[in-house]
Amino acid sequence: MKYSLDCEETFTQTYMFWLSRFIRNKITTLSNRQVKDKDRLTQILHELSIGYKEIEELKSTVKEVRNIGINSIHVYFIPLGKLFKFMSNYGPKSMKEIDEELLSDFLATQTSKLSDATKKNYRIALVTFFNYIDKQNEETNGNTYRFGIELKNWGGLSGKSGQKLPSFMKKDEVQKFIQAIDSYEFSNKIAARNRLILKIILYTGVRVSEAINIHMKDFNKDEDAYIIQVRGKGNKPRVVMIKELIIGKDLNEWNEIKTCQNNLLLCNQKGNELTQAYISSIVEKILLSVGIRKEKNGAHMLRHTFATMLYQKSKDLILVQESLGHADINTSRIYTHFDKDKLKQTTDIF
């Protein structure tokens, strides 16, 4: 069913109508392999078809959709949510007042401090959103309004790769962080669990989404280590390993008190899956407690740290690729930027 472009009384209502429907459309087209609560997702899709009136309400729903298992939905919502706030200051009366020039102004002012990769995501979100409206709007006379947004000439990108060097901890910082994991004062009920998941991420380089989805059947003892099978992007399986000496004590303490549903290794106190936001908040608190400050203090920084140290020690890019589960070795190549031995060679040229 198609709708009039300015289908509500005010610009705000119209924008929220189209944004709600667009988010619903993206949910149904993104991968659903990791979806945990099908009934709740069905309910959310129904709510989105009706539409939300407040941006914060939609933001909360998008966060819930991510936790349910549609991990990439925020890539579309964040830029469009910021565009909503940008347009609120601009004060348009109709969606038809939005054009390429206005969107270029938005990108120029709102993405100045973002990486090229994130800037590309912003552009893709805008182009996809207005292309969706182009196909779904129709007036009573049968005419369709076309935005035709392409943003091909937007000059905000500084290079072709769109890749930014990741934040990571140096060797001495890693030692401080590891010591802080064991000394940080968590609540007794969750202390062993929190130490366990942070060590698994840091010592194996798994993604946070992979760590919180580990099942007991995929966590097996092998001599003096544990072999863990994780499911990466595209539901691709791979195997990582961690020594028993590192996690044995925390694992035993956690197994004595945990009451996880769905055979999960790690869960919250209600037995449900942990959230990525919660894990990142723990990492940030520990980092700040020992005076370590990075551009990005979230849990994903632990994965970058693992990959950087692995390459520095092994000089084996294939090993890095296989350990991180990268489909393309060029994704892993970024960690060669931290090869200090090669950099030192440049200091002796003359």
In a domain, residue 176? The reply is yes
Residue 207 near residue 300, CB atoms below 8 Å: yes
Question: At which residue do the structure tokens 């669990």 appear?
Answer: 193
In a domain, residue 162? The reply is no
Q: Is the dihedral of CA 6, 9, 11, 14 positive or negative?
A: negative
In a domain, residue 349? The reply is no
Nearest to 25 by CA among 139, 180, 134: 134
> Buried b / exposed e across 278-314, counting CB within 10 Å, b at 16+?
ebbebbbebbeeeebebeebbbbbbbbbbbbbbbeee
Residues 132 and 234 in one domain: no
Residues 182 and 331 in one domain: yes
For the annotated catalytic residues, the residue numbers are 207, 233, 300, 303, 326, 335
Residue where a domain stops, chosen among 84, 115, 136:
136
Arithmetic mean of pLDDT, 163-174: 82
Higher-confidence residue of 166 and 239: namely: 239
In a domain, residue 144? The reply is no
Arithmetic mean of pLDDT, 309-316: 90
pLDDT in tens, 318-335: 998 999 888 788 888 888
> Which domain covers residue 38, as residue numbers?
11-136
Q: Which helix (H) or strand (E) holds 241?
A: strand 237-243
Residue where a domain stops, chosen among 117, 136, 155:
136
CATH number at residue 261: 1.10.443.10
Contacts of 346 (CB under 8 A, 6+ apart): none
In a domain, residue 148? The reply is no
Residues 199 and 126 in one domain: no
Q: What is the pLDDT confidence band of residue 34, given thresholds at 50, 70 and 90? A: confident
pLDDT in tens, 179-213: 999 999 998 889 999 999 999 999 999 998 899 99
In a domain, residue 142? The reply is no
Contacts of 317 (CB under 8 A, 6+ apart): 311, 329, 332, 333, 335, 336
Q: What's the domain count of the chain?
A: 2
Q: What is the pLDDT confidence band of residue 157, given thresholds at 50, 70 and 90? A: low
In a domain, residue 40? The reply is yes
d(CA 110, CA 38): 35
Q: Report DSSP state, residue 69.
A: T
